Amino acid sequence: MTDYYIFNETGLMGKNSLEKFVLDLKNELEKCSIVAGIETINEEKSTIYSKIMGENLTISVFDHGFVIKIESDHKLASIVLLIIRSLISKEVEFYLSPTQRLDKNNALEVKHDVDIRKCSLILDSAFNNNEYSSALEM
């Protein structure tokens, strides 16, 4: 299992777009038979807007749309990154970081034109290994 964060300092999407994003993400994951359900979070007690869960997968979408945390196995990590990139506007650049310290100095930009192989290489680079690209070959 692994976990990583994707973020944009000005927001991945507007707060009013979070519900649509979470439903679109769930639908895309269901097409791949990855997701089991969505957990609604009590916003008064948490900074997490919603959690999407499946076998070997938890995606936490934080309130206000600045950060998303992905916890998954190595192969799913690349697939989920690709799906999320496809759902976020082309005009919005975002970064991947293996830690909660979210700044551009320790992160890698995920461009809009990535494919599954590029996603795995970005993850390899972020974690200084080749486990993500190797998992795709299995």
Rounded to whole angstroms, how far apart are CA atoms 10 and 94? 10
Whether the per-residue pLDDT at 80 is higher than 70: the answer is: yes
Residues 6+ apart with CB under 8 A from 97: 4, 5, 6, 7, 103, 106, 107, 108, 126
* Overall average pLDDT of the 110-129 stretch: 92
Query: What global pTM score does this model have?
Result: 0.88
- How many residues appear in the chain? 138
Tell me: pLDDT of 103 over 90: no
Measure Cα distances from 25 to 63, 81, 99 in Å: 16, 11, 23
With a cut of 90, say whether residue 86 has pLDDT above it. yes
